[in-house]
Structure 1
């Protein structure tokens, strides 16, 4: 009996420690931008490695960032989609480091359009509890053509007529599926699409150096940082704790209010529709 109780205590302690360590992983938190610190290198890479069998192939999915110096906290998150549908989410954090690297191999079959977007984040801590942050987004895409009668090949952008034909086909298939999915979400929440600029999550990286309509780059940077803070807490953590094979979800749609008041994030997973709302600072509407 005593041995049973001892085993139970050990197991319970282990479970509590496991849960505590899982909860202890810090969330991505936006702080004012630090103009004195930057990244030396950031990247997201999708690559076809090899053909494994006649019906499958091996892929590499990689995200990496290097800051100019070691920071109090470094954290990256990367999302992978196939033909608009979620394949995987990975996030990693470290304290007192300048490097975060996420690397994974996965298998695929048939012709597909792969997309990956990553968010690279760092916290800079100063005396007197002053905290600032840096962030950047990177993106990569890859078309993989695996069709009977043709050699397995991949390309990031079409270079000839054959590749253009394949890219148009895969783009059309992906876009039609996403448009149908997003239309259902907007109808569910009774959203007037004319009141918003619509941007897929996979296209957000262009705002690294391009301001949102009617906003400055500084304002855009703040919106993006706070947007990823919300995405991490309400989308990335939620889905990364679930077996990817059991998740049915598509690229979220970001709706930016034309009156510079707020943004909406629409997504769905396993039939459950979700809407996130992020209010802009009052000064943005002036």
Structure 2
């Protein structure tokens, strides 16, 4: 009798764990592209970087925010934000909430030395209609901030240079970031044996322009679909793994997006914690 009770108890316990596992798998955070909903939209979406204060002799504090609001409550709202420091990934933040119209992300971080900070965010909403019809909306936002932290001058921060001193620092920081990223992207393109001449290259941080401007030889409708599916793959393969990495172990740089000039596919190249990755998205219009 005791053996039968133990056997039944084991089966019940296994079933419970199985159900919990399935539920967890089905509710894991993910960004999924669905056809664009023309009936809803974002009332606003933005990303901001601001210098808050100096922290001691050789460090300072940065405020990093991402906000968005849709014109109605949605089945699911999701935002993801990536911060780069001189081209290197500094942090990833994401949030998903059911039954809301608003997402707010805020992070305060301590940094040191002169830097060019860039943030890009993806704002996403999922709308469920009767008869299992699902649609979505999305937008991108970005911001940047130059911070001058020099022993010989007061701490300074700006978005657009306004005097000769700031212009010199902007040129220096832009050149430093560009040289590092060009070397990194060339290494990735070589590793995957890609013919760069066959593609139009766009750094992930510059992708925002195609939120309101069609990609070459595409309509805005086609562009919206391509961008939505691009972020779907990026979220799963780059954002989630990066977010699950301890900050002191996180090593990555701005991903490069390669748009095939024949309008057949795109590639996203990146390296995360020493592992080179290539995402391929075939177009289907």
The normalised TM-score by structure 2 is: 0.91
C-alpha contact (below 8 Å) 1:72/1:97 kept by paired residues: yes
From 149, 168, 171, the counterpart of 2:152: 149
Report the CA distance shift for 1:173/1:264 in structure 2 as closer, same or farther (over 3 A): same
> How far 1:247 moved relative to its partner?
1.4
> How far 1:244 moved relative to its partner?
2.0
Asked if 1:210 is matched to 2:213, the reply is: yes
Report the CA distance shift for 1:151/1:24 in structure 2 as closer, same or farther (over 3 A): same
C-alpha contact (below 8 Å) 1:25/1:93 kept by paired residues: no
> How far 1:26 moved relative to its partner?
3.0
Structure 2: unaligned runs, 5 residues or longer: 1-15
Structure 1: unaligned runs, 5 residues or longer: 1-12
Deviations along 1:165-202, whole A, 9 cap, x unmatched? 10110000000000000000000111000000000001
Rounded to whole Å, the distance in 2 between the matches of 1:39 and 1:279 is 28
Q: Which residue of 1 aligns with 2:8?
A: none
Secondary structure in 2 matching 1:233: helix
Q: Which residue of 1 aligns with 2:70?
A: 67
Asked if 1:33 is matched to 2:41, the reply is: no
Q: Which residue of 1 aligns with 2:125?
A: 122
Report the CA distance shift for 1:42/1:255 in structure 2 as closer, same or farther (over 3 A): same
From 223, 229, 233, the counterpart of 1:230: 233
- Cα RMSD after superposing both structures: 1.8
> How far 1:68 moved relative to its partner?
0.5
Rounded to whole Å, the distance in 1 between the matches of 2:23 and 2:111 is 35
Asked if 1:58 is matched to 2:61, the reply is: yes
The normalised TM-score by structure 1 is: 0.91
Deviations along 1:34-59, whole A, 9 cap, x unmatched? 11101111010101000011100011
Asked if 1:274 is matched to 2:273, the reply is: no
Rounded to whole Å, the distance in 2 between the matches of 1:130 and 1:19 is 23
Rounded to whole Å, the distance in 2 between the matches of 1:45 and 1:257 is 32
The count of corresponding residues between Structure 1 and Structure 2 is 269
Which structure's CA Rg is the greater one? 2
Rounded to whole Å, the distance in 1 between the matches of 2:259 and 2:111 is 34
Rounded to whole Å, the distance in 1 between the matches of 2:27 and 2:242 is 18
